[in-house]
């Protein structure tokens, strides 16, 4: 290994015999994040896993090969040259809304572009991207349940979602750019659990705003059910786009009640100004421009995932809402 690659992979380790040719591995980007860790728990018991993340992973399993790298750096290219890879799962998406749009775009879009280059160059047979149902956008004209071929309209209003829409579109172009690769895009509804996303930030507010005159139906999916879909997507022969709904739907008012959060009924313009003020003071990571998701429905039709992936949520609606409550009160 070159000195540059060695320094970038300072925490790489494995219990396997380095003299033997390693078995084909699953490359997991964003391995240090919450979903990366949950997915790793099962995958590393079944075969070789290579994790790529610029963060440290001090409590990683001893048989994980961890490269502490930025996906955009040349040292990452060396990893794909060296490692025999059977699949790539891309979870390395930066969601921090307080970073500049330029910083997020450089990390997310350039990084995923490099991943696509490596997959194409080394003819890796499987690529899985975790996208989001939020890419459809919450709009007044949405049907009750959005199918996979619905347009991705969130980018027109939300800069935070723009990168994810672009990643989703890049993965879709990869269907024809690299037809020999089985590319899978998963679009889950709001993820419940210890995942620091927009719903986590919303329910962490001291008073949860509820827009007067609006009570959209909502879907939530437990983090464990997202991980089970990721594992199913790794099976040979599967490709395409799959929505992931959840165990049921509820109006937002009932979700707030069952999660046990105090609510504050406000009119839409005031809610946006209130959230923007809290945002500027650093008291919330839920900006006012997200309020459309509290105003209009953005739910997905997941019949294709159930029929073709063989996926179904194992966690009940009560367990899923409890995961939100436990996360925001811990």
Question: Looking at the predicted structure, is the pLDDT value of residue 194 above 60?
Answer: yes
Mean pLDDT of 180-186: 98
Domain ranges of the chain: 3-192+220-246+299-313
Q: Where are the beta strands (DSSP E) in the chain?
A: 25-29, 49-53, 65-68, 85-90, 126-130, 182-188, 190-192, 208-211, 217-222, 240-244, 249-251, 263-266
So what's the pLDDT on residue 16?
40
So what's the pLDDT on residue 283?
87
Mean pLDDT of 288-296: 91
Closest by Cα among 170, 168, 165 to 185: 168
Q: What percent of the chain has pLDDT over 90?
A: 69
Q: Rounded to whole angstroms, how far apart are CA atoms 29 and 284?
A: 28
So what's the pLDDT on residue 14?
43
So what's the pLDDT on residue 80?
93
> What are the tens digits of pLDDT across the range 89-139?
999 888 877 888 888 888 899 999 999 999 999 999 999 999 999 999 999
> What are the tens digits of pLDDT across the range 80-93?
999 899 999 999 88
So what's the pLDDT on residue 67?
94
pLDDT range class, residue 196, cuts 50, 70, 90:
confident
User: For 187, left (φ over 0), alpha (ψ -120 to 50), or beta?
Assistant: beta
> What are the tens digits of pLDDT across the range 242-278?
999 999 999 999 999 999 999 999 999 899 999 989 9
Question: Looking at the predicted structure, is the pLDDT value of residue 156 above 80?
Answer: no
Q: What predicted TM-score, i.e. pTM, was given to this entire model?
A: 0.91
CATH code for residues 3-192+220-246+299-313: 3.40.50.720
Q: Pull the structure tokens for residue 54.
A: 């610029």
């Amino acid at each position: 290994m070159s000195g540059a690659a060695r320094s970038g992979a300072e925490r790489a380790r494995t219990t396997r015999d380095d003299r033997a040719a390693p078995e084909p591995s699953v490359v997991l980007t964003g391995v240090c994040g919450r979903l990366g860790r949950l997915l790793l728990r099962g995958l590393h018991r079944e075969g070789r896993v290579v994790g790529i993340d610029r963060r440290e992973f001090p409590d990683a399993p001893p048989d994980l090969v961890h490269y502490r790298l930025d996906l955009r750096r040349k040292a990452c290219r060396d990893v794909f040259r060296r490692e025999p890879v059977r699949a790539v799962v891309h979870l390395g998406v930066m969601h921090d809304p307080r970073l500049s749009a330029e910083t997020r775009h450089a990390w997310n879009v350039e990084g995923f572009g490099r991943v696509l280059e490596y997959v194409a160059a080394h003819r890796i047979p499987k690529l899985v991207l975790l996208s989001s149902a939020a890419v459809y956008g919450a709009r007044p004209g949405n049907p009750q349940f959005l199918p996979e071929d619905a347009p991705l309209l969130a980018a027109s209003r939300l800069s935070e979602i723009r990168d994810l829409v672009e990643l989703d579109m890049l993965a879709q172009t990869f269907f024809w750019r690299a037809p020999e690769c089985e590319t899978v895009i998963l679009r889950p509804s709001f993820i419940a659990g210890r995942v620091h996303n927009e719903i986590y930030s919303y329910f962490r507010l001291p008073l949860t705003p509820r827009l007067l005159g609006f009570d959209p139906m909502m879907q939530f999916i437990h983090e464990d059910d997202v991980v089970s879909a990721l594992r199913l997507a790794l099976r040979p022969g599967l490709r395409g786009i799959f929505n992931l709904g959840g165990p049921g739907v509820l109006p937002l008012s009932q979700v707030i009640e069952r999660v046990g959060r105090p609510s504050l009924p406000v009119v839409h313009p005031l809610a946006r100004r209130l959230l923007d003020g809290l945002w500027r003071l650093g008291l919330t990571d839920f900006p006012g421009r997200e309020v459309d998701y509290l105003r209009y429905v953005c739910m997905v039709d997941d019949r294709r995932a159930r029929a073709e992936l063989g996926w179904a949520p194992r966690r009940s609606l009560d367990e899923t809402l409890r995961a939100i409550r436990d996360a925001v009160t811990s």
